[in-house]
Amino acid sequence: MPWCVDWLADTPLEPHITDCISRDQATFQCWWSPGNFHNLSSPGALRLFYIKKDSPASEWKECPEYVHSNQECFFDNAHTSIWIPYCMQLRSQNNITYYNEEDCFTVENIVRPDPPVSLNWTLLNISPSGLNYDVMVNWEAPPSADVGAGWMRIEYEIQYKAINTTKWEALEMQPQTQQTIFGLHIGKEYEVHIRCRMQAFTKFGEFSDSIFIQVTEYTFPLTLVLVFGIVGILLLGMLIVISQQHRLMMILLPPVPAPKIKGIDPELLKKGKLDELNLILSGGGMGGLPTYATNFYQDEPCVEFIEVAVEDADTGEKEDNQGSDTQKLLDLSQPVSQHMNIGFSNVVSFPDDDSGRASCYDPDLPDQDTLLLMATLLPGQPEVGKRAMAAERGARPLVHTQTEGPQTWVNTDFYAQVSNVMPTGGVVLSPGQQLRIQESTSGAEEETQKKEKEHTGGEDSEEDKEKELQFQLLVVDCEGGRYAAEGNAWQIGGPHSAPMPGEGYQTIFPQPAETTPAATAEGSQSPYILPDSPQSQFFARVADYTVVQEVDSQHSLLLNPPPRQSPPPCLPQHPLKALPAMPVGYITPDLLGNLSP
Amino acid sequence: MNRGVWAVLLWPNLLASSVPLDCREEQGILSRCPSISQEKLLDRVIEHAELIYRVSEESCSLYEDMFIPLQFQRNQVGYACITKTLPVPSSKNEIQQISDKWLLHSVLMLVQSWIEPLVYLQTSLDRYNAAPEMLLNKTKWVSEKLISLEQGVVVLIKKMLDEGMLTINHSEQGLLQNGVQPQMLESVMRDYTLLSCFKKDAHKMEAFLKLLKCRQTDRYNCS
């Protein structure tokens, strides 16, 4: 009984077998100890004998292989039998046998496999709460155990614990070489080791070396987010820039307006071609700047045109007032302007103060209106006049610069002289032109009137009168005869240049009963400038108003020819240059200086 | 204990996978047994052997815990097991050196030698007053499975070795080795000896069959 031995303290501990272990079920080792018999501790003092009870006639044999340094006896494959009982025995030099029946065994029952190798772990997942995680541990079978051939069936046991604890947690034994550990805590460090044994046997092998598992908290990768965010924004910006390239170019680098004049080849605007430019601008090329000139700048979306004012410089406010007044009087839409805007492509001279307007914006007038405008430039087309709409813009007298074919003059009078104002409020208009054949009487009257005016106009200086007298406006009416004896309308003709043949104009005849030329003449001290020129033979009576028909290439006004007995050749009598585009009756004194015979 | 429960629950599975003996493949008689490949048959046989060993080991542990409390008593049965007339290889070297035929025949011999003693053990345990129910069930299960294992091995021999159907001779053999300690003739010790010896032999069967399988799959790598 073992307890008996311990109880008897003075009983020496005799040599005994410490342990016998097989690692691979094919070999095994036995260790002994001399116990208290220290004199037997020297190598060779104790000898180990064994017996293999496989037959009744088996005998004791000595250890096949000693390892004295370890006090160990090693049984190799040849000396190892499975399922056969072994008994161990120690013998000393003097044939004292130390035998214990407990030292009998069968080899499969003493198998303790080596610990598994290559233990490592991988993270499986982290719980949604972020507090726990699962780990997959895997390893390999001990190389000494012949598991592949099926000689040994091994099962494994994993044990783990937190670092600062003492109690190991054991998982269920299983023969696979991997196992999952569930429910580890984030932040804690765990120690894991493994051991194994033969299936359906009791003795475990040694534990393997421990591995350590730790998973720290998941930190939001702020730097990564920042980097990706910046890269994303940069890409977006580049995408926007590339897609909106043109717009950005427009915003950042607007096109610089270069000199561009409508109707003029941009090549001419370059340096060194001033002569041609002057030629074109003065109207010599094609009889004036074509209204519908070739659009050299068709493909440029935003072209700012320079407006070239075709009219003389002196025509200023008067045209404005007169135009508006006449328009109101005549209720004609004469939205004509002296200023010809060359700036608008496809838009003909439209009264526009804003000469710097770019062509990006819509033209001020649709084409329909421009056509009407142009038509109304030729005063003498009643249908046009009737069609003409009221001017949208401020009405100005338009000096039409068309070079279109002469149009038949319908007797449309732009200007009508107010002969008398009736008490009822009506306005008596005298016809603008009176073609009188029998001019003698009227001529006499005129003379008297002239004299009267000379007298009445004595306020003026002699010089002015002279100037007045020198001024001659010839109104030639080639057709003539239309205004025969329609009252004594004052007619003042003067030499003017290049009347168009076949021109005439419509007069608004005043009410005959109320228009007595004499009375009206007296009432209105219109400063008629009566022609007293050597060329007076051309006309007996001059129209009160001269309608400017057009402006020729030299920018001289072509007025209506005065009425004559015989249709005079429509020849310019006295081409006047720098002639203000106004009827005779509205010559201002300061303009007299500009007139020269 | 868990393994015991699991093994008991697997009864129907094992019964279903057992190979009936009356498979006739001649004269066009429609055989009732499905044909099975050699590898599958060997696997099934190995499964049987593994299970039998496990259950026998659990039975032995149960018996030890109840009836054999002292260690020295447990150690005494080590060499009281019967020896066979036909020497069975007992070391790994020997097992690696013998042929497939020898291995199979050894397995068959082992199986056949234990069918009778287990029946005897069953009757002996039934006479106990305090034998646990689980122990009785296990031993009963083992004896039944052993018969299935015998059938499987016979068919395997026929397939692998092309031998004819072997006659099943259950020769009467002494359960205990003659001349060993007489005190072991007590029924408890006798039963325990039976159980432990059977456990050992079941382990043998399993090892032999596994080595045989290793040879079938990869002959040169089986150490």
Q: Which pLDDT does position A135 carry in this prediction?
A: 94
CB–CB of A546/A473 below 8 Å? yes
Q: How far apart are CA A446 and CA A489, in angstroms?
A: 10
- C-alpha span between B6 and A478 (Å, rounded): 136
Interface check for B73 against chain A (CB to CB < 8 A): the answer is no
- pLDDT grade, residue A329 (50/70/90)? low
Band of residue A515 on the pLDDT scale cut at 50, 70, 90:
very low
Pairing of strands A60-62, A28-33: unpaired
Q: What pLDDT is stored for residue A13 in this prediction?
A: 80
Q: Which of A384, A350, A375, A376 is nearest to A364 (CA)?
A: A350
Question: What was the pLDDT predicted at A179?
Answer: 94
pLDDT of res. A384: 42
Enumerate the β-bridge partners of residue A31. A19, A72
How far is the C-alpha of A161 from the C-alpha of A193, rounded, in Å?
9
- Does the distance separating the beta carbons of B177 and A56 come in below 8 Å? yes
DSSP A475: -
- A chain contacts of residue B179, beta-carbon cutoff 8 Å: 56
| Alpha carbons A281 and A267: distance in angstroms, whole number | 14
Give the pLDDT confidence score for residue A520 in this predicted structure.
Answer: 42
pLDDT at B186: 74
Going by pLDDT thresholds of 50, 70 and 90, the confidence category of residue B1 is low
Half-sphere exposure of A116 (CA within 13 A, CB side): 28
Mean pLDDT of chain B: 76
Whether the pLDDT of residue A163 is over 60: the answer is: yes
Say how far residue B111 (Cα) sits from the centre of its chain: 5
Q: What is the mean pLDDT of chain A?
A: 67
Give pLDDT tens digits for A401-411: 444 444 444 45
State yes or no: pLDDT of A211 exceeds 90: yes
Identify the burial level of B168 via C-beta atoms within 10 angstroms of its C-beta, where 0-12 means exposed, 13-18 middle and 19 or more buried.
Answer: middle
Which amino acid does the sequence have at A31?
Answer: W
pLDDT band at residue A452, thresholds of 50, 70 and 90? very low
Task: Return the higher-pLDDT residue of A356 and A282.
Answer: A282
Collapsed DSSP state (helix, strand, coil) of residue B148: helix
Q: Which of A415-419, B101-105, B110-114, B183-187 has the lowest mean pLDDT?
A: B183-187
pLDDT of A390 reads 42
On whether any CB of chain B is under 8 Å from the CB of A78, the answer is: yes
In the predicted structure, residue B122 carries a pLDDT above the cut 70: yes
Average pLDDT over residues A245-270: 76
**What pLDDT score was predicted for residue A237?**
94
Structure tokens, A563? 């009425």
- Give the residue on B whose Cα is nearest the Cα of A109: B200
A148/B79 touch (CB, cutoff 8 Å), yes or no: no
Percent of chain A with pLDDT over 90: 20
pTM: 0.50
**pLDDT tens by residue, A267-326:** 766 666 677 767 777 765 554 455 554 555 555 555 555 565 555 444 444 444 444 555
Contacts from A283-288 at CB under 8 Å and sequence distance 24+? A283/A310, A283/A401, A283/A553, A283/A555, A284/A553, A286/A403, A287/A403, A287/A553, A288/A401, A288/A403, A288/A553
The interface predicted TM-score of the complex, written ipTM, equals 0.75
More confident residue, A551 or A346: A551
Q: Over 90: is that where the pLDDT of A194 sits?
A: yes
Best interface-test mutation with A: which of B60, B74, B91, B206 has the largest number of A CBs within 10 A? B91
CB proximity A22 to B under 8 Å: no
Residue B169's pLDDT is what?
Answer: 57
**Minimal C-alpha gap between B79 and chain A (Å):** 5
Nearest chain A residue to B215 by CA: give it.
Answer: A149
Asked if A108 reaches chain B (Cβ–Cβ under 8 Å), the answer is: yes
Share of chain A above pLDDT 70, in %: 45
User: Closest Cα to residue A502, out of A405, A423, A573?
Assistant: A405
Per-residue pLDDT, A414: 62
